[in-house]
Amino acid sequence: MEKRELELYVHIPFCVKKCAYCDFLSAPAGEREIHAYTDALIREIRARGENHKDCRVSTVFLGGGTPSVLSGEDAARIFRALKESFDIAENPEITLEVNPGTVTEEKTAAWKNAGISRISIGLQSVNDRELKMLGRIHTFREFLNTWKLVRRAGFNNVSIDLISAIPGQTVQSWERTLRTVAELGPEHISAYSLIIEEGTPFYTLYGDGKENAGDSSFPPLPDEDEDREIYQRTASVLNEYGYHRYEISNYAREGYECRHNLGYWERKEYLGLGLGASSLIRECRFHNTADMEKYMHVYGSGGKAAEGEENSACSCMKTEEQNSTLEEIEKLSVEDQMEEFMFLGLRKTAGISPEDFRRSFDRNIMDVYGEKLIKLEKQGLIRNSGARIRLTERGTDISNYVFSEFIF
């Protein structure tokens, strides 16, 4: 029997210091706490692996937090457990997120030996003033040291993350960041616009529609016109260096698109491992608990999983009582699946295929969304060739409006 394709996401909820804009599930921790979590995570990996023997893993993504805070040995132990517990496909894409200031030569050697094939470095800006404002722990010079260590270790598939629309940022300063990074020659660049999230220091300064922080050390955010120009300049500048945009915020050299992220936008099944990690399995969405005490109670030393009591399948068809770490288990309706097909797929510059829609749902896309598609095409927001449906440049600028049109 042919095995189902599965992607794995592994969450490391630790960082050196919380950034001013970050609302991710992460926090600083000591070496002992990180090591204990690694032990618990490995127990979860082994338990989950038992329930996915019918799957073959095509991609693995270790994110956070800052996974590079792990020691080289702890990172290697996690990847050993993954390989022993899951059927890993030939030539898998295995990504590790790292932050400057947490990378050493010993760690890069351990990552390479563990089989990691792709490194994603969180830079965000080449401007030290902007980095300080964001609350990053590193300077641009420290990033360059990380870049050299990664390249010297033999990694030839490296992504660099950037953030635009930073307070006080101009089109010119953003272009300097883009050109400086592109000239280094990474295989992939992610360029996300800053989002002001509730519960963060930036929300206190800029949330609820505040145009500026009322503090000279925190200049105003770029206005809507500047933000749009920054976005448009991103594509044109990176195109000069041989990068093509394949998703709203992601650019790559040919053949280096992130397979893991493409799988997410194409609604491939993925299993989340670790604190708070989300999953999509057999058209069910659910996530692990975000409560560290609860997670460690189940998977920590002496927990139920350690005693062999927690090996019940993590299939979404099981109840929460059968697996006490899974929360918000939602069986997606056909309408939910169609919505996701549209708004996730349209994030890709390749767009969506009506034929794929028909194969997935046994419905003609025009029978379901014809009125909306015709309206959006008349508004100049999508282009429908018959074989593919894509966002136009104007549609990309107001993509959230376009996506909202496909909600039932």
Pairwise CA distance, residues 381 & 398, whole Å: 8
Q: Could you tell me the domains of the chain?
A: 4-157+256-265 (3.20.20.70), 334-404 (1.10.10.920)
Pairwise CA distance, residues 157 & 136, whole Å: 24
Question: Which residues have C-beta within 8 Å of that of residue 402, sequence separation ≥ 6?
Answer: 346, 376, 381, 382, 391, 395
Chain centre to alpha carbon of residue 122: 12
* Rounded mean pLDDT, 302-308: 54
Which amino acid would we find at residue 353? S
How confident is the model over 269-284, as pLDDT tens digits? 999 999 999 999 999 9
Which amino acid would we find at residue 192? Y
Q: pTM for this one?
A: 0.93
3-state secondary structure string across 227-263: HHHHHHHHHHHHHHCCCEEEECCEEECCCCCCHHHHH
| pLDDT at res. 308 | 41
3-state secondary structure of 188: strand
| pLDDT at res. 311 | 39
pLDDT band (50, 70, 90) for residue 103: very high
pLDDT band (50, 70, 90) for residue 336: very high
The values of phi and psi at residue 229, to 5°, are -65, -40
65 cis-preceded (ω within 30 degrees of 0): yes
| pLDDT at res. 367 | 97
How confident is the model over 184-232, as pLDDT tens digits? 999 999 999 999 999 999 998 898 876 665 566 778 898 888 999 999 9
pLDDT at 75 over 90: yes
Pairwise CA distance, residues 242 & 251, whole Å: 9
| Residues comprising the chain, all counted | 408
The share of the chain scoring above pLDDT 90, in percent, equals 87
Number of H-type helices and E-type strands within the chain: 15, 14
Choose the weakest-confidence range: 31-45, 313-327, 369-383. 313-327
The β-bridge partners of 287 are: 278, 327
* Rounded mean pLDDT, 21-37: 94
- Contact 131/88 with Cβ under 8 angstroms? no
3-state secondary structure of 329: strand
| pLDDT at res. 303 | 64
Nearest Cα neighbor of 226 from 164, 272, 181 is 164
- Contact 85/32 with Cβ under 8 angstroms? no
Pairwise CA distance, residues 382 & 402, whole Å: 8
| pLDDT at res. 1 | 78
How confident is the model over 347-405, as pLDDT tens digits? 999 999 999 999 999 999 999 999 999 999 999 999 999 999 999 999 999 999 999 99
Nearest Cα neighbor of 268 from 1, 3, 61, 4 is 4
How confident is the model over 138-176, as pLDDT tens digits? 999 999 999 999 999 999 999 999 999 999 999 999 999
| pLDDT at res. 347 | 98
